[in-house]
Amino acid sequence: MAGYYHRIDAIRNAANLKPVLGWRESDSVTAIPHQQPLPAPDVPLLALDTLWFQVAGTLCNIECTHCFISSSPTNRSHEMLTLADVEIRLAEARRLGVRDYYFTGGEPFMNRDMLAILETTLKQGPATVLTNGMLLRPELCRELRELFDRSEYSLDLRVSLDGFDAESHDAIRGKGVWERVMKGLRNLAGVGLNPVITVTEAAEGVGSAEGRTRFLEVIRGFGFARPRLKVLSLFRIGAEETRSHGYEEWERLSMDGLTPVDAATLQCSSSRMVTSRGVYVCPILIAEPAARMGETIADTLRPFALRYGACHTCWVDGVNCRT
Ligand code: SF4
């Protein structure tokens, strides 16, 4: 714990280095000439194990109040990827030795190419799809099961929930969403697919031991005898910044350096994110222009400066978006 408090002190000290009062996160991106961004430690790319695809762009069939990239039915900041887009990056990923693949959005199953994309991906590595569960109709679940059965590599699904019941869940995800997700989860259980249920700490009490126990009971109730649960921290950017609040200026990583062991705990030391606008450092910062590291994956094989409040959350909470 001593090391932890030392690091927090260092973070607070770094805030005192702030050269201009009123410095904002976006200033580092817009490069206002008389204002300099806070110094920030670089994270090296230690290995490229994981490749993410923003396969649905920022388009989603719902509009969650905590979405850190503000996905919605109308947000076209990032467009959907086509099968051809994905194939180009998969070929590059194979040459670079990527081990596994994640697909997110927005809502991935809004992408009409999604099944074909999974079929292609599963020829070269394991794949995980992050979904809100609303489009998991019986026929789609059957097709996913068939794909699961005939693939050499594993196919996994993650379904997001944000409450123990319809009232708490729909307060964040929208009216009627709980019912549709329940149907989707039962359809998955019906074909014998056991997804990881992801919950964010927006769900009251879920972070506690009692909350997790209660959530596991809820998941069993959907028909999953061996429930799988992943609790995710909230990133106070995008819609979540409005729902709660943004980052304080002291919530930044300090310049006392990241050891390789420290860096290995951050997903940006071993992954990159493919979007319609190029390749970004990670799945969290796709609204930050400076987090776009290049057009191709090969352009991004270099360190990245961790100057964002979200990086502080990754470090302090030990967040990793992988399953
Ligand atoms: S937000 Fe997290 S994963 Fe993204 S660059 Fe910062 S530390 Fe790395």
Q: pLDDT tens across 224-258, in order?
A: 999 999 988 889 999 999 998 999 988 999 888 67
Residue with the bigger pLDDT between 175 and 2: it is 175
Determine the distance separating the centroid of ligand 1 and the alpha carbon of 199, expressed in angstroms.
Answer: 20
* Predicted pLDDT at 37: 65
pLDDT at 213 over 80: yes
Report which residue type is found at 140. L
Place of tokens 């990239």: 69
pLDDT at 31 over 80: no
Q: How confident is the model at residue 320 (pLDDT cuts 50, 70, 90)?
A: confident
Residue with the bigger pLDDT between 26 and 222: it is 222
Domains of the chain with bracketed CATH:
47-317 (3.20.20.70)
Task: State mean pLDDT over 277-288.
Answer: 97
CA angle 130, 64, 116 (to 5 degrees): 30
* Predicted pLDDT at 15: 31
Q: Is 196 exposed, middle or buried (0-12, 13-18, 19+ CB in 10 A)?
A: middle
Q: Using CA atoms in the order 265, 269, 275, 280, what is the torsion angle rounded to 10 degrees?
A: 110
pLDDT in tens, 135-171: 999 999 999 999 999 999 999 999 999 888 899 889 9
Ligand 1 and 314: CB distance under 6 A:
yes
* Predicted pLDDT at 22: 25
Q: Which residues contact 300 (CB under 8 A, 6 or more apart)?
A: 45, 272, 279, 281, 293, 294
Determine if the peptide bond prior to 176 is cis (ω within 30°).
Answer: no
State whether residue 256 is helix, strand or coil: coil
* Sign of the CA dihedral running 7, 48, 239, 173: negative
Find the helix or strand (DSSP H, E) in which 183 lies: helix 177-190
Mean model confidence pLDDT for the chain: 87
pTM of the model: 0.87
Determine the distance separating the centroid of ligand 1 and the alpha carbon of 311, expressed in angstroms.
Answer: 5
Most distant CA atoms of the chain, gap in Å: 60
Q: Which of 51, 281, 321, 322 to mutate to test the pocket of ligand 1 (most atoms within 8 A of CB)?
A: 281
Ligand 1 and 311: CB distance under 6 A:
yes
> Which residue has the least CA distance to atom 2 on ligand 1?
311
> Which residue has the least CA distance to atom 7 on ligand 1?
311
> Which residue has the least CA distance to atom 8 on ligand 1?
268
pLDDT at 7 over 60: no
Q: Which of 311, 313, 317 to mutate to test the pocket of ligand 1 (most atoms within 8 A of CB)?
A: 311
Instruction: Report residue 299 as tokens.
Output: 């352009």
Determine the distance separating the centroid of ligand 1 and the alpha carbon of 162, expressed in angstroms.
Answer: 23
Q: Which residues contact 106 (CB under 8 A, 6 or more apart)?
A: 54, 55, 56, 57, 58, 59, 60, 71, 75, 78, 80
pLDDT in tens, 34-80: 445 678 999 999 999 999 999 999 999 999 999 999 999 999 999 99
Q: What backbone torsions phi and psi does residue 158 show, to the nearest 5 degrees?
A: -125, 125
> Which residue has the least CA distance to atom 3 on ligand 1?
268
Residue with the bigger pLDDT between 317 and 27: it is 317
Ligand 1 and 136: CB distance under 6 A:
no
> What 8-state DSSP symbol labels residue 66?
T
Instruction: Report residue 286 as tokens.
Output: 């796709």
- What DSSP line would sit under 37-66, residue for residue? PPP-PEEP-----EEEEETTTTB-SS--TT
pLDDT at 268 over 70: yes
Ligand 1 and 285: CB distance under 6 A:
yes
For the CA of 282, the closest atom of ligand 1 is 4
pLDDT at 24 over 60: no
The candidate with the shortest Cα–Cα distance to 86, out of 120, 112, 59, is 120
d(CA 98, CA 280): 16
Ligand 1 and 306: CB distance under 6 A:
yes
d(CA 172, CA 218): 18
Determine the distance separating the centroid of ligand 1 and the alpha carbon of 234, expressed in angstroms.
Answer: 13
